[in-house]
Amino acid sequence: MDLSGRVAIVTGSGRGIGRAIALKLAEDGATVVVNDIGSPEPIEGVAAEIRAMKRQSLAVLADVSSAPEVSKLVETTVSKYGQVDILVNNAGIVRDQLLVRMSEADWDRVIEVDLKSVFLCTAAVLRHMMKQRWGRIISITSVVGIAGNPGQANYASAKAGIIGFSRTVAKEVASRGITVNAIAPGFIDTEMTQRLDEKHRQEIVGRIPAGCLGTPRDVAETVAFLTSDEAKYITGQVLSVDGGLLGAWW
Ligand code: NAD
């Protein structure tokens, strides 16, 4: 894809799927703002990798569940590069527990980080994209948001919320040249899934028709396509990147 001249923000891109997305968009020519929470080293590292590719990049620490920090992330981007064309809502956490044992704090934190952040970041970039009459918003949901998964009522609710949100906002902004889509990964090999014990991991692999976990790059390639000019007529969609898992579940 040719993304030269485009400016992208990728949330939660210090590692895992977000990092792979940031690197792929940069490889395709975009300027990329790398965001995460916590210590600055991971995002500085990803931004340095991007600069080594002779692309522009900025690392911005921000908690995307906080309105003032999201505002800082988007305004820093626009004041440095003059525009924001692509937003990838990737940041996410899990706090798994069966519902009968789930605390209110674990419910609230997952909804804030996985769903409220999507509202905050999307609303903040839309103001700029509507003026530009061009924009691409892609949010990372999950097959769990479509099919459900025991122990993940908070996570599945947040991820299902992203789907309703994306379909709605897609309709609101379609006439402005802005597309809004969601990608639903299955099981991807990252720190999030490396926490699973080996037995559980093997059970999951046994249920995936493709016979293996996906890679962060598999998700990143799909994001890059949806951000391109070529994908301009695709909006309000949820695209599974799951080696056939969802089809096998139904
Ligand atoms: P990960 O835990 O490796 O990475 C998530 C990143 O988000 C981390 O760098 C983390 O620090 C960051 N983050 C967390 N809270 C944040 C906040 N408040 N503000 C900014 N950044 C924050 O996970 P991953 O596997 O790379 O997952 C990326 C996305 O893909 C998540 O939304 C996840 O729910 C989704 N997903 C992952 C899988 C999978 O199998 N790995 C499957 C489906 C969906």
pLDDT of residue 250: 58
By annotation, the residues acting in catalysis are: 155
Burial of 100 (0-12, 13-18, 19+ CB in 10 A): exposed
User: How big is the chain by its Cα radius of gyration, in Å?
Assistant: 17
Q: In whole angstroms, give the CA distance from residue 53 to residue 70.
A: 27
> Which of 98, 83, 111 minimizes the C-alpha distance to 9?
83
pLDDT of residue 249: 63
Model confidence over 219-234: pLDDT tens digits?
999 999 999 999 999 9
pLDDT of residue 134: 98
**Whether the predicted pLDDT of 98 surpasses 80:** yes
Determine the residue of 36, 65, 204 to mutate for testing ligand 1's pocket, defined as the one with the most ligand atoms within 8 A of the Cβ atom. 36
Average predicted confidence (pLDDT) for the chain:
97
Which range (34-43, 129-138, 151-160, 194-203) has the least confidence? 194-203
Q: In whole angstroms, give the CA distance from residue 140 to residue 142.
A: 7
Percentage of the chain lying above the pLDDT 70 cut: 99
The pTM of the full predicted model, rounded to 2 decimals, is: 0.98
pLDDT of residue 195: 83
Model confidence over 147-169: pLDDT tens digits?
999 999 999 999 999 999 999 99
Q: Is the CB of 113 under 6 A from ligand 1?
A: yes
Secondary structure of the chain in the HEC alphabet?
CCCCCCEEEECCCCCHHHHHHHHHHHHCCCEEEEEECCCCHHHHHHHHHHHHCCCCEEEEECCCCCHHHHHHHHHHHHHHHCCCCEEEECCCCCCCCCHHHCCHHHHHHHHHHHHHHHHHHHHHHHHHHHHHCCEEEEEECCHHHHHCCCCCHHHHHHHHHHHHHHHHHHHHHHHHCEEEEEEEECCECCHHHHCCCHHHHHHHHHHCCCCCCECHHHHHHHHHHHHCHHHCCCCCCEEEECCCHHHHHC
**Whether the predicted pLDDT of 209 surpasses 70:** yes
Q: What is the mean pLDDT of residues 128-147?
A: 97
Query: Distance, CA 20 to ligand 1 centroid (Å)?
Result: 12
Q: In whole angstroms, give the CA distance from residue 65 to residue 116.
A: 6
Quick one: pLDDT band at residue 193, thresholds 50, 70, 90?
confident
**Whether the predicted pLDDT of 244 surpasses 80:** yes
Quick one: pLDDT band at residue 94, thresholds 50, 70, 90?
very high
Q: What is the mean pLDDT of residues 164-192?
A: 97
Quick one: pLDDT band at residue 192, thresholds 50, 70, 90?
confident
Determine the residue of 37, 73, 116 to mutate for testing ligand 1's pocket, defined as the one with the most ligand atoms within 8 A of the Cβ atom. 37
